[in-house]
Amino acid sequence: MSRLQLFCHGRLSWGLLALSGVALEIAALFFQYVMDLSPCVMCIYVRVAVLGLILAGLIGMLQPKVWIFRFIGLLSWAVSSVWGFSLSYELNDMQVNPSPFATCSFYPEFPSFMPLNVWLPSVFSPTGMCSDSPWTFLSVSMAQWMMVCFAIYGLIWFVMLVPSLKTAKSNL
């Protein structure tokens, strides 16, 4: 097996995915509670997409040598990356092109079987407006940084796709 294939079939690669998602969630909470930046409903949805990346990493870590776990992890990873990029792009559009007709909701719309804003209101309850962009780094807004992050997650997913789906061949 190639080195990349060995890496994809190991717990380390999936653990790094989960750990990077945890780091992003911690950063979001730092911005909210230390820097006192109020998250909007789109920010909360982006947090859910990052939570999807964490879950994808945990699924892959369960049994990384078993094809079905890697497949479910890869599928969750892809969906979370694309959905997160889409949400970040939409939020960026609201911030760059503010319109009184294109605003976001004040209340998150989670499914009834998973009311994250009720279970963990300190993490998943919005308190800000989507059109506000109170923080930038290197003249790039938080929504734009998240677009970069999700694009990188997507690129890494693409690189790991084929080696992850290959099964180990026995040497006869």
Q: Please, what are the averages of pLDDT over each run of 10 residues along the chain (172 residues)?
A: 68 88 91 84 89 92 81 90 92 78 74 78 74 71 88 88 61 36
pLDDT on residue 32: 87
CATH of domain 9-98+138-162: 1.20.1550.10
pLDDT of residue 172: 35
Distance between CA atoms of 75 and 54, rounded to whole angstroms? Answer: 13
pLDDT of residue 171: 36
Residue in 10, 12, 83, 11 with CA at minimum distance from that of residue 53: 83
CA–CA separation, 147 vs 155, rounded Å?
A: 12
Which pLDDT belongs to residue 113?
A: 83
Catalytic residues: 40, 43, 47, 104, 130
User: What pLDDT does 140 receive?
Assistant: 72
